[in-house]
Amino acid sequence: MSKDDKKEERRTFNPIDKDKITDNPHNLPYAHNVGSAIIFPDDKDRIKSNAMAAMVEQTNMQMKQIYDQMELLVNQANDLKKRVEISEEIYTAEMGFKPLTGHTYHLYEKEDGTKVLSMIGPKQWSQGNKYKKFIATARLMGDHSWQIIEK
């Protein structure tokens, strides 16, 4: 063996097994030498778990918002229903005058069960209320429905 052959052999000789080295160390999923940056493999289960938790939290928050909106709509519908009921009671009651829009009136029930609309409030009677029961105080709105002020 010549001197050049020995140099060539030393230069190409690698004491590490062929299956433990690579031509592309940048593709390895781990650090390939002591000075390399530490590479931590992704914990895919943890990533999925965190994503699922965030999705569930966001969904619950949106569901609560929709529930709150539904609850508000139900309350508005109930208030509207009460307003219609009182309006119907007022329009079937005895009236000795023509109610004016924007004015406040008081609905009472007599001893015989008939209803009467009055301009005098429950606290304005000088000698006590002459009616059996106070039902509501309402204001006549522009659409001729009645807004309940006191019940």
Listed by start position, the domains of the chain span: 44-150
Count of Cβ atoms closer than 10 Å to residue 81 Cβ: 10
**What is the model's pTM?**
0.54
CB atoms inside a 10 Å sphere around CB 11:
8
CA–CA separation, 4 and 15 (whole Å): 20
Query: In the structure, what pLDDT confidence band is assigned to residue 122 with cuts at 50, 70 and 90?
Result: confident
d(CA 135, CA 2): 122
Q: What is the mean pLDDT of residues 79-106?
A: 90
